[in-house]
């Protein structure tokens, strides 16, 4: 049995490809570094992280990118003995513009080496590359229209101004005419194009309805790659818009793949909203089996609702608690950081532990020392052990549940002019756009020596704990964990990542005070 999501936690916009018996899924990473997650599977049920290919400044530098910008909707394919990865680096979210730059990198193997990027265009986002049987390649992306209402091809949302198609090659770039091949359906917000070919038809898959609860997968087809494209009867291969109690929600944005025996599958973006309709795990990846009827793909079970459990010859294995040895010479691949390719300035893996170098404030869009992993469960515990000796109140380090600069809670060791070394809580429970801090407790004095910090998250609530010796001691009030979600603060249509839990440090005095973390544990309490 395949259990959805197959990629739990923040793993949106799944692009899937098969090479022989191996399947690969690339997902968006937005402002988290390194860029793009690629998972591997042999059975479609169990997936492991294979690589994050965008690892250096020449490929990706997101310093200054706003929250929920950066890597949008990569496309992974395989042709000519190479893996091809197409991706967007979005530099702006607010206002009429997006400033989305599209690139291609290649590699002979999934773990690299990945090439220097080839710039393609900046006309919009969600790029995709189709390799036709005759060897020609075609590049697609959403055209972004900044002009406003009534100026685009789809009346539901003028900014999403159709799917552009143009021939492309790595040697000559874009060539020939660029054409808008699809304006979308009445659902609007048409994006995420992928083309595949079957029985002489070109099939165009798009996502529509936005990335929230109206989301959908839309399929169209044409005999010629340039169109005209006719839309599937009923418009949408899958959508959960009209089934608010279905356990899988927000289904959309995926890609078709066939197994070696011809069985069809379709990945999709999904959410698992908790009571109150909030998604701390963000937008995750699911997969469904599809069959063909009258030349169209349809869900095997009928209707438009993807299943939580898909019958299969393999079973999805439950996740296990994990304790990370932070004395290792490299950072464990479960962890990421924010925006900067120059990671040496914000952390170092040493024999004594993971050292975070305090830089800019928590929530900075440029250079903050925050190393964290995804929340994958509705209820979990996470803990760490830290050594840190601040000398002023501008220096702080500790444990945080984090979504972005306006959605986080942090239990931090800092310094009080009267009390010396103290514990304090810094919280920003969804205050967008100001990002104002609240301080739920008065500073708590600490003894010298290491400090253990813990957070317990249970659906919509969370509680911090600490100890230096003896039993865990609760600290501060029960906090609102629902704010650390897609729907918290600004809301789902501008919050594209997911909740993380991890280690943070800052030093706004400019002194680069260091904190050393020797252990980190994550225990999920549900499956």
Active site residues: 367
Please report, for residues 368, 370, 395, 396, the alpha-carbon distance to residue 511 in angstroms, rounded to integers and kept in the order given.
Answer: 14, 17, 8, 12
Distance, CA of 186 to CA of 239 (rounded, Å): 14
CB half-sphere exposure, 21, CA atoms < 13 A: 2
Burial classification of residue 48, based on how many CB atoms lie within 10 Å of its CB (0-12 exposed, 13-18 middle, 19 or more buried): exposed
Determine which helix (DSSP H) or strand (DSSP E) holds 476, and give its type and residue range: strand 473-480
User: Which are the contacts of 202, defined by CB distance < 8 A and separation ≥ 6?
Assistant: 195, 196, 221, 222, 223, 224, 225
- Residue 30, φ and ψ in degrees, nearest 5: 50, -125
- Residue 422, φ and ψ in degrees, nearest 5: -140, 165
CB half-sphere exposure, 251, CA atoms < 13 A: 30
- DSSP, collapsed to helix, strand or coil, labels residue 384 as strand
Q: Is the peptide bond before 196 cis (omega within 30 degrees of 0)?
A: no
Distance, CA of 32 to CA of 25 (rounded, Å): 17
Distance, CA of 396 to CA of 423 (rounded, Å): 9
Burial classification of residue 186, based on how many CB atoms lie within 10 Å of its CB (0-12 exposed, 13-18 middle, 19 or more buried): exposed
CB 187 within 8 A of CB 209: yes
Distance, CA of 323 to CA of 328 (rounded, Å): 12
Residue with tokens 């911090």: 464
Compute the C-alpha angle 132/137/138, nearest 5°.
105
Distance, CA of 120 to CA of 92 (rounded, Å): 18
CB 142 within 8 A of CB 154: no
The gap from C-alpha 102 to its chain's centroid, in whole angstroms, comes to 18
- DSSP, collapsed to helix, strand or coil, labels residue 493 as helix
Distance, CA of 48 to CA of 64 (rounded, Å): 31
């Amino acid at each position: 049995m395949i259990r959805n999501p197959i990629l739990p936690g923040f793993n949106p916009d799944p692009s899937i490809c098969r090479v022989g018996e191996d399947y690969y899924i690339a997902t968006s990473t937005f402002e988290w570094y390194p860029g793009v997650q690629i998972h591997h599977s042999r059975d479609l049920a169990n997936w492991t992280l294979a690589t994050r290919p965008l690892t250096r400044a020449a490929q990706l530098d997101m310093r200054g990118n706003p929250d929920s910008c950066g890597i949008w909707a990569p496309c992974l394919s395989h042709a000519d003995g190479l893996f091809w990865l197409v991706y967007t680096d979005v530099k702006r979210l607010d206002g009429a513009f997006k400033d989305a730059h599209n690139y291609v990198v290649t590699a002979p193997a999934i773990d690299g080496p990945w090439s220097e990027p080839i710039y393609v265009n900046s006309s919009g986002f969600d790029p995709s590359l189709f390799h036709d049987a005759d060897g020609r390649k075609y590049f697609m992306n959403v055209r972004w229209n900044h002009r406003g209402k009534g100026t685009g091809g789809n009346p539901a949302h003028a900014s999403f101004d159709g799917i552009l198609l143009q021939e492309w090659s790595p040697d000559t770039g874009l060539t020939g005419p660029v054409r808008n091949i699809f304006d979308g359906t009445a659902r609007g917000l048409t994006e995420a194009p992928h083309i595949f070919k079957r029985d002489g038809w070109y099939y165009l898959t798009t996502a529509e309805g936005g990335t929230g609860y109206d989301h959908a997968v839309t399929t169209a087809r044409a005999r010629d790659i340039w169109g005209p494209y006719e839309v599937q009867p009923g418009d949408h291969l899958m959508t959960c818009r009209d089934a608010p109690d279905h356990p899988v929600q927000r289904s959309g944005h995926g890609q078709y793949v066939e197994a070696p025996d011809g069985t069809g599958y379709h990945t999709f973006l999904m959410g698992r909203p908790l009571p109150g309709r909030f998604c701390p795990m963000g937008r995750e990846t699911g997969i469904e089996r599809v069959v063909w009827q009258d030349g169209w793909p349809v869900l095997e079970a009928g209707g438009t609702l993807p299943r939580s459990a898909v019958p299969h010859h393999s079973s999805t294995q439950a996740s296990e608690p994990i304790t990370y040895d932070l004395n290792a010479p490299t950072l464990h691949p479960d962890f990421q950081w924010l925006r900067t390719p120059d990671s040496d300035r914000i952390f170092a893996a040493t024999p004594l532990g993971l050292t975070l170098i305090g830089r800019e404030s928590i929530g900075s869009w440029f250079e903050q020392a925050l190393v964290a992993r995804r929340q994958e469960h509705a209820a979990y515990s996470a803990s760490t052990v830290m050594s840190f000796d601040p000398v002023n109140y501008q220096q702080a380090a500790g444990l945080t549940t984090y979504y972005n600069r306006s959605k986080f809670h942090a239990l931090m060791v800092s310094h009080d002019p009267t009390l010396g070394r103290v514990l304090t809580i810094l919280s920003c429970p969804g205050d967008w756009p100001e990002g104002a801090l609240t301080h739920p407790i008065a500073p708590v004095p600490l003894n010298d020596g290491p400090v253990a910090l813990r957070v317990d998250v249970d659906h919509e609530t969370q509680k911090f704990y600490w100890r230096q010796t003896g039993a865990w001691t609760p600290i501060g009030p029960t906090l609102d964990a629902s704010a650390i979600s897609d729907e918290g603060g600004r809301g789902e249509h501008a919050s594209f990542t997911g909740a993380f839990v991890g280690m943070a440090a800052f030093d706004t005095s400019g002194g680069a005070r260091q904190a050393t973390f020797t252990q980190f544990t994550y225990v999920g309490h549900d499956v």
